[in-house]
Structure 1
Amino acid sequence: MNVAIVDDMASECDILFGLLKKYETDHKQTIQIKVFRSGRELLSDYIPGSYDVIFMDIFLNKENGVDCAIRLRQLDENVNLIFLTTSSEFGVKSYDARAADYIVKPATLERISRALQYCKIAQLQSEPTVTVTTRNQPLEISLKFILYADYQNRSSCIHLKDCIVPVFGSFAEISGQLTAYPQFMSCFKGIVVNLMEVGELFGDHLILKNGEKLPVSRRLHRQVQRQRLSLAAGSLRGEGI
């Protein structure tokens, strides 16, 4: 589970960090934690899917945590938000950002455990993901957010529904991770596409559901068509992908 803490008070960050590590031990669940001292720092270069849960302090120095959370929600529809506050009167306002819960300080292990239970962590953990390195840190990306991956101008990128993620490492490694799943396959040299995101397939190209056009090589066209049909048949039978 990837967790972010957004709080301008170092002492509060330390308390929450310690409680999350205690939760990690008690529940035998690995938790990666990153601390941000402002909402602006979190939102800078934010990549959707980076975190499963974000703990956001409402009273940030020169910032309103709820306003930051609303901007965050515009970037990431799926992240679980938990507000930290010194007053319960802000509980109703937290719903503007569709928060999973809010915790009145001081935080306790019991309150954190309850808040995490409200989050869709189990669902997120069960979804298949790939782990890549971007901006010198590992990033776990859910397959359902990926449109395609490509290699251009000597660099690899994963194209998500919301943004493009530059990835360090060889394209062969990235391609290998993706094509291990049946919905991903190469359609052209240096391009691996998520077939579940393909709207139409033509002789030398395909159109994604978002309208983007990708080339399809003549050699791979039949394989792409066959795999699309296989995936569609599996969906009709109710088989998971």
Structure 2
Amino acid sequence: MKILLCEDNQLELEEAKRCIQEATEDYQTPVKLHCFQEVESCLGYLENNVPDLAFIDIFMGEESGLHIARAIREKSRQAQIVFLTGSNEFAVESYDVEALDYVLKPPTPDRIRRTFEKYLQKYNSVEKFIQVKWRREELKIKESSILYIKTTGNETSFYTDNGVVSVYYPLKEIEKQLSPEWFLRLRKGLITSMDYIETMDTGCCTLKNGEEYSLSRKDKAAIRKKYFDYQFSKIEGR
């Protein structure tokens, strides 16, 4: 389990780090804790990594922890965000990232433990895996880690936030397992998480890695409608 901690005050960072380490000792889940004091260095880490759980100082001097929270939410629906705050009054803007919890400073191990239990309850209730058979073995790929899936010839590749997994398995069988409210078929041989779409125009879609793909001519109206309905539902908080 990857935990991110971003706090600009050195003393408060060390205290939060101690509380997180103490709170997670009782669980059987291996934990890797990544700590940052600066927004930019944290954003740099997030370019190639997605935490399972993130503790973020909501106010970091002149910077806002919301930059970090939004960067996480753009890459993952399942990553859970916890704001560390010195006040009971939370910024209205923070609600759009769907934070798991708000923890008043200074945190305590017991308070962090309650947050961790809340995370585990949510994780166990919503996590889903895509199963494919490969070389007489059954592979399980965490659905929330999937960015997009592409078929080349007979090979189907899962592009995930942990790397690429390639198998010889029909895309249509994989599509049956995917949550239709989160994934979109752009054209033959290409399915993407709607959160991994950067832009979409009349006939073309650009993914967050910069790759551009034309939309299926036959289905482009339905594709665009589904994508923009999804975006509006996020704005409205549904």
| TM-score band, normalised by shorter chain | 0.5 to 0.7
Find the partner of 2:189 among 207, 210, 218. 207
Note if contact 2:6-2:36 (Cα within 8 Å) is conserved in structure 1: yes
2:104, 2:70 → 1: CA distance? Answer: 20
The yes-or-no answer on 1:102 pairing with 2:99 is no
Higher RCO structure (Cα 8 Å, ≥6 apart): 2
- Give the match for residue 41 of structure 2: 41
Note if contact 2:50-2:75 (Cα within 8 Å) is conserved in structure 1: no
> Structure 2 vs 1, CA of residues 80 and 54 (structure 1 numbering), >3 Å: closer, same or farther?
same
1:38 CA displacement: 2.1
Note if contact 1:8-1:37 (Cα within 8 Å) is conserved in structure 2: yes
- Give the match for residue 4 of structure 2: 4
2:73, 2:41 → 1: CA distance? Answer: 15
> Structure 2 vs 1, CA of residues 122 and 49 (structure 1 numbering), >3 Å: closer, same or farther?
farther
Secondary structure in structure 2 of the residue aligned to 1:35: strand
> Which deviations, in whole Å up to 9, do the C-alpha atoms of 1:51-101 show, x marking residues without a partner?
111000012133111243234322332211100011111265532321111
> Structure 2 vs 1, CA of residues 66 and 159 (structure 1 numbering), >3 Å: closer, same or farther?
same
When normalised by structure 1's length, the TM-score is 0.56
Secondary structure in structure 1 of the residue aligned to 2:55: strand
- Give the match for residue 114 of structure 1: 114
The yes-or-no answer on 1:186 pairing with 2:188 is no
Secondary structure in structure 1 of the residue aligned to 2:21: helix
1:42, 1:10 → 2: CA distance? Answer: 15
Note if contact 2:150-2:191 (Cα within 8 Å) is conserved in structure 1: no
> Structure 2 vs 1, CA of residues 186 and 102 (structure 1 numbering), >3 Å: closer, same or farther?
same
Note if contact 1:103-1:111 (Cα within 8 Å) is conserved in structure 2: yes
1:1-241 equivalences in 2 (<5 Å): 1-44=1-44, 46-47=46-47, 50-90=50-90, 93-119=93-119, 120-123=122-125, 127-128=128-129, 142-146=142-146, 147-148=148-149, 159-160=159-160, 175=166, 185-186=167-168, 195-197=173-175, 207-210=189-192
> Which deviations, in whole Å up to 9, do the C-alpha atoms of 1:134-171 show, x marking residues without a partner?
xxxxxxx73553344899xxxxx9624xx7x667xxxx
> Structure 2 vs 1, CA of residues 45 and 13 (structure 1 numbering), >3 Å: closer, same or farther?
closer
Moved more, 3-12 or 92-101: 92-101
Which structure 1 segments of 5+ residues have no match?
Answer: 130-140, 152-156, 168-173, 176-184, 214-241
Amino acid at match of 2:190: L
> Structure 2 vs 1, CA of residues 55 and 144 (structure 1 numbering), >3 Å: closer, same or farther?
closer
1:76, 1:39 → 2: CA distance? Answer: 19
When normalised by structure 2's length, the TM-score is 0.56
> Structure 2 vs 1, CA of residues 96 and 48 (structure 1 numbering), >3 Å: closer, same or farther?
farther
What is the CA RMSD across the aligned residues, in angstroms? 3.8
Amino acid at match of 1:79: A
Note if contact 2:24-2:113 (Cα within 8 Å) is conserved in structure 1: no
Count how many residue pairs are aligned between Structure 1 and Structure 2. Answer: 171
Report the identity percentage. 24
Note if contact 2:76-2:144 (Cα within 8 Å) is conserved in structure 1: no
Work out which of the two has the higher radius of gyration on C-alpha atoms and give 1 or 2.
Answer: 1
Moved more, 22-31 or 40-49: 40-49
